[in-house]
Amino acid sequence: MGVVVGIDVAKEIHWAEIKIAEDGKVVSSHRVDTTPQDLSALISEIKDVEVEHGPTLVGIDILGGIASLLQTMMLEAGLVVVHVPGPAVNRARRGTRGGEHKSDPKDAKVIADQVRMRDDLRQVTATREEDVKLRLLTARRAELVEDASRRANRLRALLNAIHPGLERHVEVTGKTWLHLLTRYVTPAEIRAAGRTRVLAHLRKLRWVKDTVLIKATETAVGSAQRQRVSMPGEKVTAELVKETAAEALAARDRLAALDKRIQETLDRHPDAALVASLPGMGPIMTAEFLAVTGGISRFATGDQLAAAAGLAPVLKQSGKSRHLQRARSGDRALKRVFYQSAFCAIGHDPASTDYTPAAA
């Protein structure tokens, strides 16, 4: 290693520091606009220094997102890139003179020094198309699920304000009830329509058992018969309920289409079949796992994977004291995948509940 480069990544301007690895002499330190032209100029500058001083190792503190263009161009130019995590940069900076002062040039200097001193930094590799798709699709799915939860709570609050008897029985995530609420909400509307018209409206749903539709109709009509009081703002509230219910139905269709795209992407991913074979790892958990890790080749052993997720015990040793304790860090998204898959496995995989006492 002859040259090290530390790049502090930002949205509009990166800051790069190029220095000689052997003695730490700074060759240049300057801002770089996040344009292809300026990034190409930086790569050319690095190549020129590389000719005289040897191979280059580039350190960046952010992966993907605002660093995607920089990361792609560096790898296409044949440069070796490593990831210096933000927490490592912050702690290393605080150990320097005036460590509380933060600036882009200082962070770039710290990143370059970390690259010089450490040999355990993760090397950045080119991202596969399937991994990028899974990352984007799972992020979008999380947004839709979060919106659905917020919409369901809002729907319950609106319905409870004008028709509490019906709200007790409505499943705001069920297609049958949402379809009902797109047209009939208030007790007066349901009484005026009667059982026949309410049931006819529900029967527009396909692939729903008639017994389910009849039961929902009887529940709605019975609740409307018991409430004869009109509530203030009932008309406007009912309009909002109908609008929200229609949005919820459309969101269900979008979520189903998104799940189909995720499954199609998994079918083409080389690691998906192996990950999906684990207990509790359905298509969504598999997609989220691969979106976070980028593939099973990132971790050489299961211990490294457990440590990255914050599931492996942490050794604490000082003097004669030596003990293990629960990890308090780790990738939260990865940890969630493991916990969620474990809960699913408990309910569906009998082998997951087996317990074998440790040997004496």
Rounded Cα distance between 301 and 319, Å, is 29
The residues that bridge with 57 in the sheet, in sequence order, are 4, 80
What radius of gyration, in Å, describes the C-alpha atoms of the chain?
Answer: 29
| Best CA proximity match to 11, nearest among 31, 29, 37, 27 | 31
pLDDT at 128: 87
SS3 content of the chain, % helix, strand, coil (to 5): 60, 10, 30
pLDDT at 360: 43
pLDDT at 156: 95
Contact 185, 241 (CB under 8 A): yes
pLDDT at 157: 95
Cα dihedral 284, 285, 287, 291 in deg (nearest 10)? 140
Rounded Cα distance between 80 and 77, Å, is 9
Across the chain, which has 360 residues, the per-10-residue mean pLDDT values are 90 94 91 94 94 93 91 93 91 82 91 92 88 93 95 96 94 93 96 95 91 95 93 94 96 95 94 90 93 85 88 87 87 90 81 60
pLDDT at 353: 67
**What element of type H or E holds 220?**
helix 210-226
pLDDT at 301: 87
> Could you tell me the sign of the dihedral formed by the alpha carbons of 197, 169, 183, 223, in that order?
positive
Rounded Cα distance between 355 and 6, Å, is 49
